[in-house]
Chains A and B, each alone.
Chain A
Amino acid sequence: MTTPILLEQGFNGLQLGMILFLMAVGVTLVFGIMDTINLSHGSLLMFGGYFIVGAVELTGSYGLGLVLALFATALLSVIVEILVMRPLYRRGHLDQVLATFGLILFFNELAVMIWGRAPLYLSVPAFLDGPIDLFGLAYPAYRFAITAVAAAVGSGLYLLIGRTRTGMLIRAGADKRVVVEMMGVNITRLYTLIFALGSVLAGLAGIMVVPLVSVQPAMGDPILITTLVVVIIGGIGSIRGALVGGLLVGVLDTFGRILFPVYFGTGTGSALANMTIYILMAAVLLWRPRGLFPATAG
């Protein structure tokens, strides 16, 4: 293992971590504030991916396509929120699990019917094609851009939640939902906003990963599981936890995949590499049964 390889993998881990962070925000907000489990969050990532492929093809421009795809994801999420999520908020967690699992099946099959089973590809936008110089390392500009965009979104989210009136309501809603409602806040609209916010971030994650991994039906399912791991490690309801959890999982998973096979041979090594994040989660939970940054729930 030479230093440049380790450095490059470090950046790859960082990038994976930021993608997971974008996914985790939606799950952790919807659970922390609406007390609702949404398993179909991964479907929004998948749709984000399909939307960008379609939108770039339609407009012929990556920038226009990006705006269009984000808008389409937001629109879809608002429809899902109104039709499906609203009746679910007051239900038990098990009903939410069953209903949103049904939603996953529906969305996956819908994707098959619209776009087929074969993966769709999108090339890296021209202005980000090629390497950039990162501490003497030639690193793909696109991968760096993902990390930068996600970091910018994270900072924006920090400002939104910490410094604006909407953010104040979100924090208040997470803490004492009933009181917020009694103060005359339109909680229905707030919920729609939070759900759409989380969904757009998931869509953005999907939009950004497409040039790296292609888009195909059910691509969100394994990512959803990893996202849940991130949310649990960070502590449900905590955005800071989502960031720390995402980075921990992203970096450790990336290094596990290159280091374990070197030191334990391909068989045991790759088994250990796949297990890394689950061992991490189990260890964190045995040490802190409510995650690293337990949010105050009420």
Chain B
Amino acid sequence: MVDRREWPIILVLAALALAVPLLGDTYYTKFATRVAIYGMAALSVDILLGYAGLVSFGHAAFYGVGAYATGMLINAGVASGFVVLPAAVIAAAVAALVIGALSLRTTGLYFIMITLAFAQMLYYVAQSLRAYGGTDGFALDGRVTLGGVLKPTDATSFYYLCLAFLALVLFLCARFLKAEFGVVLRGARDNAVRIEAIGFPAYRYRLVAFAISGAIAGLAGALMANLNQYVAPPGMLNWEVSGELLVMVIFGAAGTLLGPIVGAAVFLFFADILSGLTEHWMIIFGPILLLRVLFVKDGLYALLQKAMAR
């Protein structure tokens, strides 16, 4: 999945990411933390969109399940990250397995909308949880602890924790997609009939991909819950989150591993930094999305790739 010519880009991006805390301003560190977390969630969407041809408009569901599981466990007194994080990931994966099993019966635009439907159902379930604040959500008692190894309480070490998780997820995705699993997935995207004919059950491969993708989104949600120390249906489970993740992926470049992360960085740059300069930042950002479609065919990251290939 990784072209040899991409390594310079990867190294530069990695160096930039590692250097952020050196700016000495926690504002930038927190911003970079959000980029890493949103980037991870966007990556989970792109695994399906770019490699399996499945557009999920409901990934807020798994992101939210991860966040809620984290918040519920921490407030129940379970603070060990070695318990909380795996539990959040598993909860999201199970949710993805169930929703995926039903949704994958449909295709195309119908798939987009049925994933939205399930995510909306979970949104309203969360909203009805009175013990967890209903629409207002609830504050977490604190962040997870990771033994004596790390104290993810200060901004910098939490940022590096997120970055490490992102690197791990990227590595695993690259391996998975390069292996037979990824080949079958892309084969099913391009021609499901042929893949079935040579003996690979496309549905099952897609379902596994959907569950893996949900698990990654769940991890991102768990990290975001830790970052904000707050969980609520709006901002975690609403359809706008699913929409933003899709926008990040398409903006960055679908079907690449780093594109979604670049997309997340640009999106959050506009949402966080430009919005500090002008209240009406969307009047600039909207047309930028339009211009990207009209003039940069395959997304920002593809532009970088092409520049390197020359």
Contact = CB atoms under 8 A, between A and B. Distances in A.
Contacts of A98: 247, 250-251, 289, 292-293
Contact of B293 (A37, A95, A232, A272): A95
Contacts of A271: 124-125, 127-128
Interface stretch (B115-123, B136-144, B153-161): B115-123
B107 interface: yes
Interface in B100-122: 102, 105-107, 109-110, 113-114, 116-118, 120-121
Nearest to A291: B110
B292 to A, nearest CB: 7
B282 interface: yes
Contact of B117 (A94, A278, A289): A278
A106 B110 contact: no
A6 interface: no
Contacts of B294: 87, 99
Interface string B262-301: 0000000000000000001111011111101110000000
A289 B281 CA distance: 40
Interface string B52-89: 00010000000000000000000000000000000000
Nearest to A268: B128
Given A236-B109, A290-B110, A291-B110, A105 B117 contact: no
A221 B239 CA distance: 11
B254 interface: yes
Nearest to B254: A94
A268 B290 CA distance: 41
A225 B239 contact: yes
B125 A282 contact: no
B280 A232 contact: no
Contact of B127 (A101, A274, A281, A286): A274
Contacts of B234: none
Interface stretch (A107-115, A139-147, A183-191): A107-115
Contact of B128 (A107, A236, A267): A267
Nearest to B294: A87
| Among B105, B121, B130, residue most surrounded by chain A Cβ atoms (within 10 Å) | B121
A91 interface: yes
B286 A104 contact: yes
B114 A285 contact: yes
Given A97-B246, A110-B283, A289-B107, A102 B124 contact: no
Interface residues of B, number: 40
A279 B124 CA distance: 12
A225 B60 CA distance: 15
A228 B114 CA distance: 11
Number of contact residues on A: which range applies? 35 or more
B254 to A, nearest CB: 6
A229 interface: yes
| Among A95, A98, A279, A286, residue most surrounded by chain B Cβ atoms (within 10 Å) | A98
The secondary structure that dominates the B interface is: helix
Nearest to A88: B293
A9 interface: no
Given A94-B55, A94-B254, A278-B117, A113 B110 contact: no
Contacts of A106: 282-283, 286-287, 290
A214 interface: no
B290 A103 contact: yes
Contact of B285 (A96, A105, A107, A285): A105
A168 interface: no
B49 interface: yes
Contact of B289 (A93, A105, A228): A105
Interface in A112-134: 112-113
Nearest to A229: B113
B243 interface: yes
23 contacts: A87-B294, A88-B293, A94-B254, A97-B250, A98-B250, A99-B289, A99-B290, A102-B286, A102-B287, A102-B290, A105-B283, A106-B286, A108-B282, A109-B282, A109-B286, A112-B280, A232-B110, A236-B109, A267-B128, A278-B121, A281-B114, A282-B117, A286-B105
Task: Sort A-B residue pairs by CB-CB distance and give the 7 closest, nearest first.
Answer: A102-B289, A106-B286, A271-B128, A105-B286, A278-B117, A109-B282, A99-B293
Given A98-B247, A105-B282, 17 more contacts: A31-B109, A37-B109, A87-B294, A91-B293, A97-B246, A102-B290, A109-B280, A109-B283, A267-B128, A270-B128, A271-B125, A274-B127, A278-B118, A278-B121, A282-B102, A282-B121, A286-B105
